[in-house]
Amino acid sequence: MFPFAVDKIPPLHGVRVLDAARVLAGPFCGQLLADLGAEVIKLERPGAGDDTRGWGPPFVHGSNDLSAYFLSCNRGKKALTLDIATPDGSELFHRLLSKCDVLIENFRTDSAEKLGLTPGALLAKHPRLIACSISGFGRTGPRQNDPGYDFAIQALSGLMGITGPAEGPPFKVGVAVADVLTGLYASNAILAALVARQRTGHGYAIDLALADCALAAQVNVAQAYLTSGKAPSRQGNAHLQIVPYQLFATADGWLVLNVGNDSQWRAFCAAASAPDLGANPNFATNRQRVERRAEVVPLVEALMRTFTTAEWEARLSAANVPHAVVRGYAEAFADPQALARGMKLTVRDPSGNEVNLVGNPVHLHGAPTAAPTMPPRLGEHTASVLSSVLGLSASEVGALRAKGVV
């Protein structure tokens, strides 16, 4: 199928990552790296662990530390508990870092300074380390010490200002999108730094802020403001710069219509048995339709109500007009396309029970991604990691447990 040999090893095999971050952005980044074959060690506080372990229900049956939230961003990792605020814990932490390629952390700025874990201090001790720091507002600027929460970041970044109905209050996106986007930016930066290290031989510090990532990810809408100087109004389920490109009511339901160019506009009008509308010179180009949105949209709304959703699907599919039915998760995860692409994974917990997980969307040709494994219980791999990575004996691990270090 491909004119090259197929590697049997995932692309990040041999890369070791210490994931010392909590909640979503950092752990999501770590999961992406694990999916690509990195050995990812999740570091958590003894006895408590990542906050998201308790963010339920729902939980995996029979557990109180495997919430759905935790499952979503910790697949494929090993779990280690370690109190890095203690002298013994700090020593072990740095010994682990000396064996790692990447550190992902979201320490508060004051905590990092108190513990001697600022990027500069980390790279002074570990000059080949890729140290990725994730915070609400970054490590510079007047808000560097402020905590950052996804909902607040969506509000502050302008994202809520463009989300929601045209009339009424602003809305947040239905998932913690600022966290997810930051995790994606973080994994991208880490991969770039790993490539650069091969050339330079030295490590890198990566400083990522949720606020920056949320603003940058607003792409064309934010750019529209910078270009025009005018704040874009909320469009609800419509598009700021394309018409008609929005949700419409049909005779019996809802359907998203995605008319992305002028030929699709004419094809839609033909499919709607409205050739005169397609021939109207006032609506011939997308620019005209955007400028005359108040005229075009009511005409399309009236047309869309003349047929059922199923009838529109048949008509629009035959005319090659992009469209989509609004579905829930039951339909989305049962879709043959989603199943064929592996977007629902089934793994087994330590008791052998099946657990369904959201799949990895990356498909590599020429190398595999890592086989999915169950997100770990709190401290599940502490002894094995300390033994295999640092060479500690069972008695040494036992002594650390007795002191509350691990």
Q: Looking up tokens 């692409």, which residue turns up? A: 341
Res. 2 pLDDT band, cuts 50 70 90: low
52 contacts 70 by C-beta, under 8 angstroms: yes
Confidence (pLDDT) at 326: 92
143: region left, alpha or beta (phi > 0 left; psi from -120 to 50 alpha) = alpha
Residue among 275, 277, 272 at smallest CA distance from 315: 272
**Per residue in 163-194, pLDDT tens?**
999 888 999 999 999 999 999 999 999 999 99
Res. 111 pLDDT band, cuts 50 70 90: confident
**Per residue in 115-162, pLDDT tens?**
999 999 999 999 999 999 999 999 999 999 888 899 999 999 999 999
Res. 110 pLDDT band, cuts 50 70 90: confident
Q: What percent of the chain has pLDDT over 70?
A: 99
Q: Looking up tokens 């007009």, which residue turns up? A: 321
Domain 245-326 annotated CATH 3.30.1540.10: yes
Res. 62 pLDDT band, cuts 50 70 90: confident
Q: Which of 179, 207, 212, 276 is catalytic?
A: 179
| Residue bearing the bigger pLDDT, 302 or 48 | 302
CA atoms within 13 A on the CB side of 396: 13
Confidence (pLDDT) at 228: 94
- Is there a catalytic annotation at residue 51? no
DSSP 343: -
Overall residue count recorded for the chain in this entry: 406
The 3-state DSSP class for residue 373 equals coil
Give yes or no on whether 16-217+339-402 and 245-326 have one common fold: no
CA distance 34 to 16: 9
Residue among 109, 139, 112, 138 at smallest CA distance from 209: 138
Q: Looking up tokens 């080949």, which residue turns up? A: 128
Q: Is the pLDDT of residue 332 over 70?
A: yes
* For helices 262-271 and 309-318, angle between their N-to-C axes, nearest 10 degrees: 130
CA distance 44 to 148: 20
Classify domain 16-217+339-402 by CATH number.
3.40.50.10540
DSSP 162: G
Arithmetic mean of pLDDT over the chain: 94
Please spell the DSSP secondary structure of 246-309, one letter per residue: EEEE-SSSEEEEE--SHHHHHHHHHHTT-HHHHH-GGGSSHHHHHHTHHHHHHHHHHHHTTS-H
Q: What percent of the chain has pLDDT over 90?
A: 86
Question: What are phi and psi for residue 132, nearest 5 degrees?
Answer: -105, 115
Domain boundaries in the chain?
A: 16-217+339-402, 245-326
CA distance 151 to 99: 36
Confidence (pLDDT) at 242: 95
Give the mean pLDDT of 356-377.
91
Confidence (pLDDT) at 3: 63
